[in-house]
């Protein structure tokens, strides 16, 4: 082994070796007829690794490596979704830069251009996953636009049509006026904006007075069809049922009562514009109101007399008209959250447009049952409740997009207006036999195809051996913002198409925020490219740092945790060199002949149990902490230091046991820090297999009773290092270990026993006082209270060590 650990060289060497040797492949290291399947979120084909990807990849890789070592037939399926709007946006920008557009070159040429771009520039993220050390089976890479995957998507759509759950309707959607398409909620980015809140009076038709409403979008007043108030608002009790006149258009509209109105906003009365506001659309539908549209698909006005104006120009004209007639009561600055397209940052227009919809009631019911029966479990529990609630409240799904890149909807219209939904493409109308067919130009929502990922990647709708072997899977891990958009849809799609859930457990991992608590964002300048810490500190250190901070749903990025991971890798490297330099030609074998050897074997066994329990419960932070203390504190600082004299003296039992203990430590660490452990493993004697497919340590209770055997020595060391006081230990072995590890002879002056006793008495009194405080125990975080209890017990033990 080299004297210095170079993570970059080591990691690249093993990433290439594992893949070239086929050790990521399904079934690698299989010892028994059990499988473990991870459903990885297919990344955007145009995307790059961000911190959330890096954390999620680390979580999944820990699980897949652990199960691979345990002998499971593992499958971690890689691939991409086609990212309809993202990919189209990239190619459209290229065309604009060249002085042309997709409309000019036509649909076929545009799709050819998109495929060409993907082959030369897209798909970079999978290389970044390799750099992270993610052991996906890269030989099975799939793409949602692969020919076989298209077959699955079309089959799913036709089955939904045949079930009567696909329909066409005019509904309000998130409309991007730049991309000219409906987009999903996930593609809407809410941004704080400064606007002006205008208070405008709508006169009563049947007498003096009127009702003032507050709006930030005066231009949409042209499409008002009612004024709404809360039914319990005493200010407007007498106004309900009367009519008011809408300014500018002078339309007579009713005053209605609706519980969805917020009495605290503005004047407590709101204009109802079903054509341009989602809540208003629902109010209008429930009250049987007309839906009017005054804004076009490009975001410009289409109302009579306002044609072609942008909305700011229309706002100014509407306010000027109302002000001239004394209807403007006041205008004031107003800051609020506005939906924008996450890609082009255009302001989203809520618009009513004809779209294809999927009815959710029949699809959601079996998925809800699976969640309620805990056949699928979300972790943590709060996210299980959210998943359940989001399915209970799921609106019908808008599955169409007005794009060219994607899965074109398999519906054809004949010259007589009949619709045919079929796959493969039909030759004639299913109703009248007419052969003049025109395919619907819309494509499907990207999430429609992603919903099939757990089984379409295994060959469905064909009955393949892979589908039989690996469906249903075990674990899905992802971020909370796509529970409704992806996880729930995979569950109901799996149940609808195969009659089985796609996985049993869903891990909703932490959202990694910037160090200052803001969300990570390139546009805000708060994003951190995971490749930066990987290049600076190594993939193992980056994985370690991200998993260390993953204890809650929102965590702040901490480079210090990654630096700690680098120090841990270096510490492990150095202790391995120490042992290997003294054990040439030695066969690893557990032959404990001393207290520290029995103790480290017990600590390894204790850590194995703790890590397994944590990983089974998806508590990756706890497992990471346990492995850190096992490696840094127990193995390196105590065990290795204690055995040094015996190693140097050539004690054969000590050398064999040290190699065996190191072997076990490397196995426990491997899922967390795979590269440095594999490199060290390769230098151990008689290595017939890679560590990645070597057996996970089996339970060994032979020395289990010795797990606390060094507690007195360690506490004596704490006292000595803090105060210089050397306490009396009970056995020659304890004194030998203390001398080897602490080396008290290096301290010049003796400590003050009485001063240390006084300090400990004060600390005990302080801790007892805090724990006697009921408010502290009831209100402080549980880990803080538990830490205080642990300190109290330690202080008491240290005081006992000092004697009477």
Determine the Cα–Cα distance for residues 370 and 376; give it in Å rounded to an integer.
Answer: 6
Q: Is 573 a residue whose pLDDT tops 70? A: yes
Q: What integer pLDDT is reported at residue 748 of this predicted model?
A: 67
| Residues 218-257 pLDDT 10s | 999 999 999 999 999 999 999 999 999 999 999 999 999 9
Please state the rounded mean pLDDT for residues 162-184.
95
| Residues 692-741 pLDDT 10s | 999 999 998 887 788 888 999 998 898 888 888 888 888 999 999 999 99
What is the separation of C-alpha 512 from the centre of its chain, rounded to a whole number of angstroms?
A: 9
Neighbour count for residue 136 (Cβ, 10 Å) = 23
Contacts 24+ apart (CB under 8 A), 609-615: 609/699, 611/668, 615/62, 615/63, 615/66, 615/671
Order of strands across the sheet that contains 437-439: 419-421, 411-414, 437-439
pTM over the 0.85 mark: yes
And the tokens for 111? 């799709």
Q: Is 428 a residue whose pLDDT tops 70? A: yes
Determine the Cα–Cα distance for residues 43 and 23; give it in Å rounded to an integer.
Answer: 23
Please, which residues have CB within 8 angstroms of residue 374's CB and are 6 or more apart in sequence?
none
Neighbour count for residue 290 (Cβ, 10 Å) = 12
Q: Is 589 a residue whose pLDDT tops 90? A: yes
Determine the Cα–Cα distance for residues 14 and 16; give it in Å rounded to an integer.
Answer: 5
Classified as helix, coil or strand, 257 is: strand
Neighbour count for residue 139 (Cβ, 10 Å) = 11
DSSP secondary structure letters along 723-775: H---PPPSSHHHHHHHHHHH-GGG--S---HHHHHHHHHHHHHHHHHHHH-HH
- Do the beta carbons of residue 317 and residue 196 sit within 8 Å? no
pLDDT band at residue 31 using 50, 70 and 90 as cut-offs: low
Q: Is 759 a residue whose pLDDT tops 60? A: yes
| Residues 123-148 pLDDT 10s | 789 999 999 999 999 999 999 999 99
Give the DSSP H/E element, type plus range, for residue 279.
helix 278-287
Widest CA span of the chain, in angstroms?
A: 107
For helices 641-648 and 732-742, the axis angle rounded to 10 degrees is 100
Give the DSSP H/E element, type plus range, for residue 794.
helix 782-801
Please state the rounded mean pLDDT for residues 523-549.
93
Q: What integer pLDDT is reported at residue 40 of this predicted model?
A: 80
Determine the Cα–Cα distance for residues 331 and 199; give it in Å rounded to an integer.
Answer: 6
- Do the beta carbons of residue 549 and residue 624 sit within 8 Å? no
Q: What integer pLDDT is reported at residue 747 of this predicted model?
A: 78
Alpha carbon of 639 to those of 587, 599, 618: distances in Å?
Answer: 19, 8, 29
Q: Is 29 a residue whose pLDDT tops 80? A: no
pLDDT band at residue 378 using 50, 70 and 90 as cut-offs: very high
- Do the beta carbons of residue 359 and residue 365 sit within 8 Å? no
Residue in the block written with tokens 């805990």: 374
Q: Is 761 a residue whose pLDDT tops 70? A: yes
Phi and psi of 401, rounded to 5°?
A: -135, 145
Please, which residues have CB within 8 angstroms of residue 304's CB and are 6 or more apart in sequence?
none
| Residues 639-678 pLDDT 10s | 999 999 999 999 999 999 999 999 999 999 999 999 999 9
pLDDT band at residue 400 using 50, 70 and 90 as cut-offs: very high
DSSP secondary structure letters along 578-635: HHHHT-TTPPP-----SHHHHHHHHHHHHHHHHHHHHHHTT-HHHHHHHHHIIIIIII
Determine the Cα–Cα distance for residues 429 and 267; give it in Å rounded to an integer.
Answer: 56
Q: Is 586 a residue whose pLDDT tops 90? A: yes
Determine the Cα–Cα distance for residues 768 and 593; give it in Å rounded to an integer.
Answer: 41
| Average of per-residue pLDDT values in the chain | 93
Q: Is 523 a residue whose pLDDT tops 70? A: no
Please state the rounded mean pLDDT for residues 592-600.
95
Q: What integer pLDDT is reported at residue 582 of this predicted model?
A: 94
Classified as helix, coil or strand, 397 is: strand
| Residues 380-389 pLDDT 10s | 999 999 999 9
DSSP secondary structure letters along 509-574: PPEEE-TTSSBP-TTTT----THHHHHHH-HHHHHHHHHHTTTSSEEE--HHHHHHHHHHHHHHHH
Q: What integer pLDDT is reported at residue 32 of this predicted model?
A: 57
Sign of the Cα pseudo-torsion (786, 792, 793, 794, in order): positive
| Residues 293-328 pLDDT 10s | 999 999 999 999 999 999 999 999 999 999 999 999
Query: What secondary structure letter does DSSP report for 396?
Result: P
pLDDT band at residue 57 using 50, 70 and 90 as cut-offs: very high
pLDDT band at residue 391 using 50, 70 and 90 as cut-offs: very high
């Amino acid at each position: 082994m080299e004297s210095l650990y170079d993570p970059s060289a080591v990691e690249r060497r093993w990433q290439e070796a594992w893949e070239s040797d086929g050790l990521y492949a399904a079934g690698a290291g299989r010892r028994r007829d059990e499988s473990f399947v991870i459903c990885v979120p297919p990344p955007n084909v145009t995307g790059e690794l961000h911190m959330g990807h890096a954390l999620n990849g680390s979580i999944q890789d820990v699980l897949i490596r652990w199960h691979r070592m345990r002998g499971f037939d593992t499958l971690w399926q890689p691939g991409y979704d086609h990212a309809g709007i993202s990919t189209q946006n990239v190619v459209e920008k290229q065309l604009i830069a060249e002085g042309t557009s997709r409309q000019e070159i036509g649909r076929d040429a545009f799709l050819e251009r998109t495929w060409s771009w993907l082959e030369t520039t897209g798909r970079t993220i999978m290389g970044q996953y390799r750099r992270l050390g993610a052991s996906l089976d890269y030989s099975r890479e799939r793409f949602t636009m692969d020919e076989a995957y298209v077959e699955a998507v079309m089959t799913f759509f036709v089955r939904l049509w045949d079930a009567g759950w696909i329909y066409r309707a005019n509904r309000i959607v998130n409309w991007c006026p730049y991309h000219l398409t409906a987009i999903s909620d996930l593609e809407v980015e809410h941004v704080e904006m400064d606007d002006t809140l205008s208070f405008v009076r709508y006169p009563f038709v049947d007498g003096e007075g009127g009702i003032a409403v507050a709006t930030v979008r005066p231009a949409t007043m042209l499409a008002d069809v009612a004024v709404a108030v809360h039914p319990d608002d005493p200010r407007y009790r007498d106004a309900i049922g009367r009519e008011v006149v809408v300014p500018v258009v002078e339309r007579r509209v009713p005053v209605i009562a609706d519980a969805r109105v917020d009495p605290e906003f503005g004047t407590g009365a709101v204009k109802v514009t079903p054509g341009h506001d989602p809540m208003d659309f629902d109010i209008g539908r429930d009250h049987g109101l007309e839906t009017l549209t005054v804004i076009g698909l490009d975001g410009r006005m289409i109302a009579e007399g306002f044609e072609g104006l942008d909305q700011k120009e229309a706002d100014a004209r509407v306010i000027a008209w109302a002000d001239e007639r004394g209807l403007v009561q006041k205008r004031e600055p107003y800051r609020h959250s506005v939906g924008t397209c996450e890609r082009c940052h255009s302001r989203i227009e809520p618009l009513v447009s004809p779209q294809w919809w999927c009815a959710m009631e029949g699809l959601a019911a079996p998925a809800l049952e699976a969640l309620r029966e805990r056949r699928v479990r979300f972790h943590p529990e709060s996210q299980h409740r959210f998943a359940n609630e989001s399915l209970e409240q799921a609106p019908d799904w808008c599955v169409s997009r007005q794009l060219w890149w994607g899965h074109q909807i398999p519906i054809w219209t004949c010259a007589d207006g009949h619709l045919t939904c079929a796959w493969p493409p039909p030759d004639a109308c299913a109703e009248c036999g007419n052969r003049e067919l025109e395919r619907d130009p819309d494509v499907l929502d990207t999430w429609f195809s992603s919903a099939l990922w757990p089984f379409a990647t295994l060959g469905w709708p064909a009955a393949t051996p892979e589908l039989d072997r690996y469906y249903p899977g075990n674990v899905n891990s992802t971020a909370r913002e796509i529970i409704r958009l992806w996880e729930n849809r995979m569950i109901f799609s799996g149940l609808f198409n195969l009659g089985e859930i796609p996985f049993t457990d869903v891990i909703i991992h932490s959202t990694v925020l910037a160090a200052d608590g803001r969300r990570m964002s390139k546009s805000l300048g708060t994003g951190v490219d995971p490749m930066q810490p990987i290049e600076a500190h190594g993939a193992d250190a980056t994985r370690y740092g991200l998993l260390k901070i993953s204890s809650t749903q929102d965590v702040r990025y901490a480079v210090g945790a990654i630096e700690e991971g680098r120090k841990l890798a270096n510490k492990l490297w150095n202790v391995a060199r120490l042992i290997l330099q003294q054990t040439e030609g030695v066969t690893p074998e557990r032959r404990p002949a001393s207290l520290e050897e029995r103790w480290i074997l017990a600590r390894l066994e204790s850590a194995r149990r703790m890590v397994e329990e944590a990983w089974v419960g998806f508590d990756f932070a706890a497992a990471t902490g346990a492995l850190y203390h096992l490696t840094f504190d127990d193995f390196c600082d105590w065990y290795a230091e204690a055995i040094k004299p015996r190693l140097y003296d050539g004690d054969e039992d000590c050398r064999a046991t040290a190699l065996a203990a190191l072997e076990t430590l490397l196995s426990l660490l491997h899922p967390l820090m795979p590269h440095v452990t594999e490199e060290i493993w390769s230098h151990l004697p008689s290595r017939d297999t890679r560590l990645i497919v070597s057996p996970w340590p089996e339970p060994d209770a032979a020395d289990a009773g010795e797990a606390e055997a060094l507690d007195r020595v360690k506490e004596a060391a704490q006292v000595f290092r803090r105060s210089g006081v050397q306490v009396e230990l009970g056995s020659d072995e304890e004194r030998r270990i203390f001398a080897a590890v602490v080396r008290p002879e290096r301290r010049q002056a003796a400590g003050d026993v009485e001063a240390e006793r006084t300090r400990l008495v004060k600390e005990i009194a302080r801790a007892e006082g805090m724990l006697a405080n009921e408010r502290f125990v009831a209100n402080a975080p549980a880990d803080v209270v538990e830490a205080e209890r642990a300190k109290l017990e330690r202080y008491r033990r240290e005081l006992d060590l000092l004697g009477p």
